[in-house]
Chains A and B, each alone.
Chain A
Amino acid sequence: MTLWLMAGLLFTPLAWAVLTLMVDFRKGRLVTWLGMAVQVLVSLGLWAAVASDGGFLYLLGGWQAPLGIELRVDGLAVTFVLLTALVAAACGWHASIYLDPGKPWHRYFWPLFWFLWAGLNAVWLGGDLFNLYVGLELISLAAVGLVALGGQADALRAAIRYLMAALLGSLAYLLGVALIYGQFGTLSLAGVTELMNSGDAQSGQTFPLVLMLLGLALKTALFPMHGWLPPAHGIAKSPVSALLSALVVKASFYIAARLWLDLGGELGGFALAQLIGVLGSLAIIWGSWLAFRQTKLKQVVAYSSVAQIGYLFLLFPLTWGVTEAISLQAQQGITLQVISHALAKAAMFLAAGNLIMSVGSNRVDALAGVSRFLPFSLFSFGLAGVSLMGLPPTGGFAAKWLLLQASLASGQWWWLAVLLAGGLLSAAYVFRVYRASFIESTDTDQFYHPSRSLEVIPMILALMSLGLGLVAEPVLSVMSLPFEGGGQ
């Protein structure tokens, strides 16, 4: 059964990419709805299978690890596969109504969308360092194509900037892979970890790890390498921005985290871990401040992504040189942060798209008066904002609570200040948007009403992000399932 699920999971996005390439936007929409249903069901099935039987290794082509490519299907991977299925399906559904079918280039949205999805799944499951590189490139090129779609000069500038950053990041990662292969003669991450921990092998080099982390941090837009993110996420169509912010940046972070957790203990050091943590903190403060200062609505949301990504990098100091229990707590906190940010940010971008559609302008101060006309989308925006601020009972709160406990338990109290300041600053930029929308004195009374389903989708996502705090326990229990539990 699981073999069928795996085949379905790998096959569907790639096959649907080809299918939708053959038809125009309207037919592609119908085809995509079917594909999204299949993909969500398959992801749910796989998640349930792993939740009940534990993780397993999937041998592609039937070849074992050093020779072939193994996929590592564990609790964390299927959690992200499921998250991707939910968020991507929501964005795809939104896009199918939001995008104008009359524009000839929108037909190419669907194939790129499906390739992006395929690349994300490849990264969550990948256990082979070089295969992860190909997966990353699949994601980057599809994402750049989506940003540039039908591009006018500003979108192209953002897309080119994004492409250049992504390519440089991938090359730094690939150089690290080349060095690691040169030293160990294998590309399997599990194999390298085993060799390094076996003791008798010569000690590894730190430089390859630093290179890979640097490249991946550039692709994740860690401060101060975040310059490419706000233009690209701000100028893309709202469903695309939602996909990029919610999922794409997480892919490179996921690889960095896996590398750190497997190799960081041997190759990393206190200084490296703290340095990454400090950069993450600066990202939180600086990103939130810039979000507060932006005049365009989507730029506010995009800079908020820079800030929220900063939290993720607290994983590095909180898992280095601490006890197993604290490390697990930090990992759980970061996982919750990834999930809740993905849901909340997707909701926020989709709601922002609705608001922009409604007022016909992308400026924050143009929102004046919209609170009377579009309370539903505005409410979704606010709910997502509550999760970003980290107020209980949201997923954002649960995540930050775990991080707080981990930093106290590990004696690194200085992250506490960052966590608190980040929450306050995010409250500031969310309330700024709210304040603008409640101003009544305005000359425009004409608002366009987006269709009901456009408004429902961000609401669902925001509610899921809100509810995540209540169901954190079962989600985390699947994530931390012992890998060896299933049939290896």
Chain B
Amino acid sequence: MSRFLGITVLAAVCLVFAGALMITVWQIAGTQAPVDLPGLLADNLEASGVEHPITAVLLNFRSYDTLLEIGVLVIAGIAGISMANTASLEDPELRTSDSLLYALQRWFVPLMLVLAGYLLWAGSDRPGGAFQAGAVLAASGVMMRLGGIPMEFLRPGVLLRLGLALGFSVFLLVAVVSAMAGDAFLAYPDAFTKPLILIIETVLTFSIAMVLLALFVSAPVNGAEEPEEGESG
């Protein structure tokens, strides 16, 4: 009985929440936004160095967001590998021996690598970009891993850590060099805007794929335990 009551109350709360949200959205939809940000964006697109507005927002106008966002990814990667187990890479239980998977892998992995490259390149003037390319790259890595292809660089070692941090470090270096060159943090010099964005996108693709793959690999666990402070053990 109390269980039923709990569900009812909870459902009522969620309905009230959704209703209030609905009303707010409806009321806001009836108004006109006083700031025309898309127009402002279109006026400044020329100066951003890329033709696609979303890429321009991500890597130029609001590049600080993107820098911190990659930081969030790297944190997740670090926290993930801090629990990883080296031995699990050789764990036979984690491999699938399936002829269909092997066939798929032979066909898909090269195709996916090409697709990732295309997505990265397309990002400058049509939908695409570093994250999409990185996700595809990571997906092909997951496929290779499931098929049992040894990927030594995914062991928690210096190579993995370098791979995790590469994209973030390059982005950060560009940011600080641009600050030292006289303008603000992350203000690219005019002449180099496009090549800089291209370099950042490329290394980001690589690092995003590494982080996602590292997190996929580190989900299995090791046996080491640490006692709580003050508890013997």
Binding site for B on A (CB under 8 A): 3-4, 6-7, 10-11, 14-15, 17-18, 21-22, 58-63, 66-69, 103-105, 108, 111-112, 115, 118-119, 122, 130-131, 134-135, 137-138, 141-142, 144-145, 148-152, 154-155, 175, 179, 182-186, 191, 195, 201-202, 205, 207-208, 235, 237-238, 298, 353, 356-357, 359-363, 366
Contacts and interface: CB of A to CB of B under 8 A. Distances in A.
A145 B78 contact: yes
A145 B83 CA distance: 10
B71 A115 contact: yes
23 contacts: A14-B67, A18-B168, A18-B172, A61-B60, A61-B64, A66-B37, A105-B82, A108-B81, A111-B75, A115-B74, A115-B78, A118-B68, A145-B79, A149-B79, A150-B82, A175-B21, A182-B28, A183-B28, A184-B33, A184-B35, A205-B28, A356-B230, A362-B231
Nearest to B81: A108
Contact of A179 (B28, B64, B180, B230): B28
Contacts of A362: 228-231
Contacts of B165: 18, 21-22
Contacts of A141: 72, 75-76, 79
B203 to A, nearest CB: 13
Contacts of A155: 226, 228
Contacts of B28: 179, 182-183, 205
Interface of B: 20-21, 23-25, 27-29, 31, 33-37, 40-41, 44, 60-65, 67-69, 71-72, 74-76, 78-79, 81-83, 158, 161-162, 164-165, 168-169, 172, 175-176, 179-180, 183-188, 224-232
Given A21-B164, A138-B72, A238 B229 contact: yes
Contact of B64 (A7, A69, A149, A185): A69
B36 to A, nearest CB: 7
A145 B82 contact: yes
B213 to A, nearest CB: 17
A237 B168 CA distance: 28
A356 B20 CA distance: 49
B61 A67 contact: yes
A183 B165 CA distance: 38
Contacts of A6: 179, 184-185
A10 B185 contact: yes
Nearest to A298: B229
A353 B82 contact: no
Contacts of B63: 60-61
Contacts of B83: 105, 148, 150-151
A151 B232 CA distance: 16
B176 A108 contact: no
A66 to B, nearest CB: 6
Given A21-B161, A62-B184, A184 B34 contact: yes
Contacts of A298: 229
A300 B202 CA distance: 50
Q: What are the 8 A-B residue pairs with the smallest beta carbon separation, nearest first?
A: A185-B33, A145-B79, A362-B230, A7-B179, A62-B187, A185-B35, A108-B82, A61-B186
Given A18-B165, A22-B158, A207-B20, A150 B226 contact: yes
